């Protein structure tokens, strides 16, 4: 450009509008959209939240079947990779079903979650909480006005620190939940106030004879077959049926994967009548290794 009657544009002419920071209204709308997403969508499966819904110690909501599927052993590279991605979402908060609590929402005629006391819709616009261990959900303002620490739905007593905010955003609530879990771990408890895995299972010290030790080993061996099945020992019938459903779906996927693999191996072999002599019609794995009947020994 130049010497042709044209002109070279300056940066001021090219950049009509300078980059600007988003306004407070735009930031508020973005946060509201994010809260709407987390109130309606399971972050593990990307499917809509539907009962039964569970929550971890951080107040996040998940579909219970998605948590069960995550806890099942990963089979194959794709499953391992997918489980690693879900682990990033959970932030290590869920290691077993004891680390989640089923949240019991009251549902109105339109299918919306509401507070059973105020009838307010529980969602992005209302601060909601649930109580551990019963799991009943209320508007935060209702729980604050209760003098006696008993659930208004089931009348079960609870501690003040066991009121969990759903999808908390304030630094105070987040810090309180973090401190709560640290205290529970020191006591050997999980988010649901159940004993953590390994707690109370330590061997007793001071065994004086070998018979007591052998009896302990025998009892452990007898317990192993029952623990081999993921759904074994689940007392809750709803959880057991949900686990069986997830296991069935995973087994069907494994069967389809194995059938695709076996198809390639079967193409290497030819089916033939064993009564007929092998020769050119035999498969390449057995061709050349058959011995004629009239061969001299």
pLDDT in tens, 168-179: 999 999 999 999
pLDDT, position 5: 64
pLDDT, position 25: 87
1-36 confidence digits (pLDDT tens)? 556 667 777 777 777 665 678 888 888 888 889 999
In this prediction the pTM is 0.65
Give the Cα separation of 218 and 99 in Å (integer).
30
pLDDT at 39 over 70: yes
Q: Tell me the C-alpha to C-alpha distance, in Å, between residue 39 and each of 33, 35, 53, 119.
A: 10, 6, 11, 18
State the average pLDDT over residues 55-64. Answer: 97
pLDDT, position 189: 96
Which domains are present in the chain?
29-186 (3.30.40.10)
Average pLDDT, the chain: 80
pLDDT at 111 over 80: yes
pLDDT at 202 over 80: no
* Banded model confidence at residue 89, pLDDT cuts 50, 70, 90: very high
State the average pLDDT over residues 242-261. Answer: 71
Question: Of 60-74, 206-220, 233-247, where does mean pLDDT reach its minimum?
Answer: 206-220
* Banded model confidence at residue 204, pLDDT cuts 50, 70, 90: very low
pLDDT at 93 over 90: yes
* Banded model confidence at residue 255, pLDDT cuts 50, 70, 90: confident
* Banded model confidence at residue 292, pLDDT cuts 50, 70, 90: low
pLDDT at 82 over 90: yes
pLDDT, position 67: 97
């Amino acid at each position: 450009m130049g010497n042709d009657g044209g002109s070279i544009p300056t940066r001021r002419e090219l950049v009509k509008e300078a980059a600007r920071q988003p306004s407070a209204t735009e930031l508020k709308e973005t946060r509201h959209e994010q809260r709407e997403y987390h109130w309606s969508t399971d972050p593990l499966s990307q499917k809509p939240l539907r009962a039964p819904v569970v929550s971890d110690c951080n107040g996040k909501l998940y579909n219970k079947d998605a948590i069960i599927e995550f806890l099942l052993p990963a089979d194959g590279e794709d499953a391992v990779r997918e489980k690693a991605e879900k682990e990033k979402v959970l932030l290590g908060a869920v290691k077993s079903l004891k680390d989640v609590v089923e949240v019991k929402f009251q549902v109105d005629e339109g299918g919306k979650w509401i507070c059973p006391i105020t009838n307010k819709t529980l969602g992005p616009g209302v601060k909601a909480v649930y109580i551990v261990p019963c799991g009943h959900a209320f508007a935060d303002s209702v729980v604050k006005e209760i003098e006696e620490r008993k659930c208004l739905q089931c009348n079960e007593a609870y501690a003040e620190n066991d009121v969990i905010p759903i999808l908390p955003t304030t630094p105070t609530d987040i810090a309180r939940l973090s401190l709560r879990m640290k205290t529970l771990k020191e006591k050997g408890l999980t988010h649901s106030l159940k004993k953590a895995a390994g707690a109370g299972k330590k061997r007793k010290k001071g065994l004086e004879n070998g018979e007591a030790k052998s009896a302990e080993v025998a009892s452990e061996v007898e317990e192993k077959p029952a623990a081999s099945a993921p759904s074994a020992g689940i007392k809750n019938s709803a959880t057991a049926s949900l686990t069986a459903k997830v296991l069935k779906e995973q087994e069907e996927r494994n069967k389809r994967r194995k059938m695709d693999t076996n198809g390639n191996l079967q193409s290497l072999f030819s089916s033939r009548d064993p009564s007929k002599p092998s020769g050119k019609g035999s498969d390449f794995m057995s061709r050349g290794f058959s011995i004629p009947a009239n061969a001299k020994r």
